[in-house]
Amino acid sequence: MAAPLLRGGEMVLELSDYMSFGSFALQAIGFYCILKKCGKKPWHAFIPIYNDYELAKCAKREKEGRIMVLVGILEAITDLVSKLIATFMPGSVWDEFFIMLRGAISICSLVYMVRIYVGLCYVFGRRRAWIWMFVIFQGFTTFLWGVSKKFMPVMAIEDEKGVEDSGIHAEEIEQGLTVNIRQRSTSEFFKKKILLRDLHLTIPKGHLVLLLGGSGAGKTTFLNAVTGYEKADATILLDGHDLYKEYESMKYDVGFVPQQDLMRANDTVLMTLEDAAAMRLPESYSRKERKKRVMEVLESFGLSMLANTLVEKLSGGQKKRLSIAMEFISDPSLFILDEPDSGLDGVVARGLFEKLRAIADSGKIVIVITHTPDRVADLFDDVIVLAKDASRTGRLAFYGDIDEAKEFFGKDSMEHVLRAVNQKEEGGEGRATEFVSRFTYEVKRKAG
């Protein structure tokens, strides 16, 4: 807002002051009405900075809203410091620095506000061309959308509690994995955010299991909780042993292969496995025993002929086999892989999954995340489907064999199953809550 003029000892406001105030008033009224339409507390519209966060929730862009609050606070602090420097140190280097900093913050604020407007257009079923109206005539456009009955949300703003818990837990099995995750939460933006809730299942030995779920459904969080990497409010039992309580003695029983290959390009295949053996095998192993285990794994994964080949000379499929072999060196009972077929063609990927099938058949539990499940679906015993319910919490939407999954979701492929539980803004059908509710009901019914 432009500085007021003093004329005859009286303060006189310029036209730009009235225009700025008018725009602010229109925007506040618009915010109030939009929040009311979306089922939020409308009076939050009059809280500076925080009102952007509430608008973002209406637009299903809560993440952008949190960033906008932080940017708003930073902008206010920077503005205050800038004014102090301009008053006491005019023309200094710091004065110029804060001018540039304020400009950078303003650009950042604009970028995230545009993202919120994109979400708002989606929720209200309007074309993205309206974004330009918001940017150029923010106050007027916000007022129009808020006051006019022609602008109404075309979808529900999911801020409910979501599907109620099943109230049961998985009975322990002696040979296999028992998972009872009551809750996995974190603190986010001054409030508790529940990432996962009410996941109860058992996986027998010898099973190859597909882990399916859209972005943000909680796949990684689930795996981290199961392996003990990030503990949840849960009980995880592997062959009857508590993984959380006995983590130090059981960590060699769990193998995890990340999506990215973690190998030194200038090492040979043999050196890579020898280093893995030194890190993954218990200290009780003698040097002779370590070497024997390395040779066994080389042979098992078809890498014996490549023992002296540099990692950088390997093909994509060979690198992935080596990456898996590095974790398999400790002979884990539970083997988890995150997109092992990433970047591989169909034939090579198929061969890799046939190897995982063989590992499972040897008495291991193998859990796999893959974004191309249908080309190898016949190799899996079961599928775990995770989805976000109405409260945006990762829940169990299904657990059972592949054919049962297709029947439950009424789909003919795993990719179509995934599309069914994905949010509409992610290109899905947005039916996650429906299926979580149905599966929870079925579990409770079977439990009696």
Reported confidence tier of residue 254, pLDDT bands at 50, 70, 90: very high
Q: Walk me through the domains of the chain, giving residue ranges and CATH numbers.
A: 5-147 (no CATH), 176-447 (3.40.50.300)
Residue-wise pLDDT tens digits, 40-78: 888 888 888 888 888 888 888 888 888 888 888 888 888
Indicate whether 160 pLDDT > 60: no
**47, 187, 197, 35: which is closest to 120 by C-alpha?**
35
Q: Give CA torsion, residues 234, 237, 240, 243, to 10 deg.
A: -100
Residue-wise pLDDT tens digits, 347-381: 888 988 999 999 999 999 999 999 889 999 999 99
Q: To which residue do tokens 């007021």 refer?
A: 4
- Looking at residue 19, its pLDDT comes to 54
- Looking at residue 125, its pLDDT comes to 86
Residue-wise pLDDT tens digits, 94-111: 777 877 888 888 888 888
Q: Which residues pair with residue 185 across a beta bridge?
A: 194
Out of 13-22, 151-160, 230-239, 269-278, least confident range: 13-22
- The residue with greater pLDDT, 94 or 310, is 310
**448, 444, 352, 447: which is closest to 163 by C-alpha?**
444
Q: In angstroms, rounded to a whole number, what is the distance separating the alpha carbons of residues 8 and 267? A: 83
Q: Is the Cα dihedral 398, 381, 229, 182 positive or negative?
A: positive
User: What predicted TM-score, i.e. pTM, was given to this entire model?
Assistant: 0.69
- Tell me the CB-side half-sphere exposure of residue 337, using CA atoms within 13 A: 30
Reported confidence tier of residue 14, pLDDT bands at 50, 70, 90: low
